Amino acid sequence: MIRIRVLVLPVVLLLLFVSACDTASDQTSTPTPTITATPTPATQPTATPTQSTPSPLPSIAGIVERVTPAVVYISVEYIEFSFFTQYLRTKSGSGVLLSSDGYILTNNHVVEDARNIEVLLPDDDHIYQAELIGADLLSDLAVIKIEGQDFPTLSFADTSKLRIGDWVIALGNALGLEGGPSVTIGIVSNLERSFTLEESTFYDVIQTDAAINPGNSGGPLVDLEGKVVGINSAIIYTAQNIGFAINASTARRVYEDLVQYGRVTRPYLGVTLQTVTPALATELGLSRNRGVLVRSVVPDSPAAGEGIEVGDVITHFQGQEVSEASQLIKLLWEYDVGDRVGITFWRGEQQHEVWVTLVERPEGL
C-alpha cells in the first residue's frame, strides 16, 4: 500500500504527494534575427570559423563509489489497527550514516510507529538492530543508531553556496531493489520551497528533478563533492521530475539536537504569521503591502511581552527585510533559545522596533 500525502495549493491546483517510502499489506514490500556576415576585405586573410564543442558531463562514478557505502537500507515493523484486529506490517526506506559510531539520519515517516528497526549496509551482510534516538515531526526527520565502530560516513555541505542549476545526485533504496542503493542525477530546480504535509511543515526545501522514488525517503541528496546537501523526502505523485529534499541547513541542526538531547529545541516568538500580499493588504486595510502579518499572539509569550499585537506587519528581523512568513521562520530558527532579536514592524502608519528574548518552543506546537 503506497502512502499518499496530500498538499492543497488554494485555487491553483491539488497536488498529491507520495512520501518516498513504501508500506506493505500482507508481507514485506518496498517503499511511489538572421545573422548577416560582414564581408572581409580582400586585402585581409579570412578567418576560418570554428565551432566550440560542448564539454561532456563529468562521470559521477567516483563520487558514487565514495558515497554509496554510507547509504543504508532501513526495514521497519509496525502495527496497523483495524476495527476488529491488528496486523503486523513492514515498510522500508533509506538513511545516511553521519558518524563512525553508527548514528543515522532518516525521515521520521520511515521509522514512526516502529516496533522493530533493522538496518543493512551496502557492503555488509550483517543485519543491524537499530535504536530510535529521537524524531522531529515538524521537520520529518529522525535519528536512529546501530552498534559498532568505524562505519563509513558522509558530511553535510555548506548549502549557502548552493545555486539553482547545480548538479545533484540522489541515492536511496528505491523500491527496495536488491544490489544496493539506486543512483539518479539531476539539478537543483529551486531553493527554499515551503509547504505543509500532514504534520510536517517544510520551510527550507530543495526542489530537484533527480528522480526520487518510493524507498528513497531518508537517503541523501549530494553535490559533486559527495557532501550531503539534503535529505530526500517527498515527490509530487502526479507530476514528472519534481522531488523535494530537506535542506542540509535544516537537517544538520535537527540531527545535532536529536543526537545530543533526543529532541529538537527551537526558539519561539509566540505568534502565527501570514505573508502579506497586495490583495490581503487591500482586504484588511493594511498600511503596508509587503511584509509578514501577525495573525495571532499567544498570551504571555515573548512577542506579547514586548507589545506585538494582532494586525502588526513585520518588515525586518535582525535588520534583514522579510517579505514571506516562511522566510521569517527560517531566520528565526537560526537563533538559539535565550538570544535577543530585533523586530521592526508597522502598526497603522507608525513604525516600531522591539527586542525580544527567545524562549524554547513548547512541546506539541
Assigned domain for 291 exists: yes
Residue 358 has pLDDT above 90, yes or no: yes
Assigned domain for 37 exists: no
Last residue of a domain, one of 211, 232, 264: 264
- Whether 103 and 249 map to the same domain: the answer is yes
- Whether 215 and 305 map to the same domain: the answer is no
Assigned domain for 38 exists: no
Q: How high is the mean pLDDT of the chain?
A: 83
Pick from 10-24, 78-92, 118-132: least confident? 10-24
Residue 252 has pLDDT above 90, yes or no: yes
Within 10 Å of residue 310's Cβ, how many Cβ atoms?
11
Query: What CATH number does residue 314 fall under?
Result: 2.30.42.10
Pick from 3-12, 57-66, 308-317, 341-350: least confident? 3-12
For residues 148-169, one letter each, b for 16 or more C-beta atoms within 10 angstroms of the residue's C-beta and e for the rest, the string is eeebbbbebbebeebeeebbbb
Residue 24 has pLDDT above 90, yes or no: no
Determine the Cα–Cα distance for residues 258 and 264; give it in Å rounded to an integer.
6
Pick from 113-122, 168-177, 306-315: least confident? 168-177
- Whether 177 and 69 map to the same domain: the answer is yes
- Whether 257 and 124 map to the same domain: the answer is yes
State the pLDDT at residue 31. 38
- Whether 76 and 171 map to the same domain: the answer is yes
Within 10 Å of residue 354's Cβ, how many Cβ atoms?
16
Residue 294 has pLDDT above 90, yes or no: yes
- Whether 183 and 199 map to the same domain: the answer is yes
Last residue of a domain, one of 218, 238, 264: 264
State the pLDDT at residue 42. 45
Average pLDDT on 228-254 reads 87
Q: 209 is written with which cell numbers?
A: 528533478
Residue 38 has pLDDT above 90, yes or no: no
Supply the pTM of this predicted model.
0.77
- Whether 142 and 279 map to the same domain: the answer is no
Q: 275 is written with which cell numbers?
A: 505573508
State the pLDDT at residue 168. 95
Assigned domain for 273 exists: yes
- Whether 257 and 323 map to the same domain: the answer is no
Assigned domain for 52 exists: no
- Asked if 333 and 302 touch (Cβ cutoff 8 Å), the reply is no
Average pLDDT on 225-233 reads 95
Determine the Cα–Cα distance for residues 105 and 258; give it in Å rounded to an integer.
10
Q: Model confidence over 259-291: pLDDT tens digits?
A: 999 999 889 999 999 999 999 999 999 989 999
- Whether 212 and 245 map to the same domain: the answer is yes
State the pLDDT at residue 365. 66
Query: What CATH number does residue 193 fall under?
Result: 2.40.10.120
Query: Helices in 285-364 by DSSP H: which ranges?
Result: 302-305, 325-332
Domain extent, residue 313, equals 267-360
State the pLDDT at residue 215. 85
Residue 37 has pLDDT above 70, yes or no: no
State the pLDDT at residue 29. 36
Confidence of residue 85 (pLDDT cuts 50, 70, 90): confident
Q: 222 is written with which cell numbers?
A: 549530494
State the pLDDT at residue 68. 95
Last residue of a domain, one of 264, 282, 313: 264
State the pLDDT at residue 34. 37
Residue 204 has pLDDT above 70, yes or no: yes
- Total domain count, the chain: 2
State the pLDDT at residue 51. 57
- Whether 169 and 133 map to the same domain: the answer is yes
Assigned domain for 217 exists: yes
Which residues are tagged catalytic?
A: 109, 140, 217
Assigned domain for 48 exists: no
Assigned domain for 124 exists: yes
State the pLDDT at residue 21. 53
- Whether 77 and 26 map to the same domain: the answer is yes
Determine the Cα–Cα distance for residues 2 and 20; give it in Å rounded to an integer.
9
- Whether 317 and 302 map to the same domain: the answer is yes
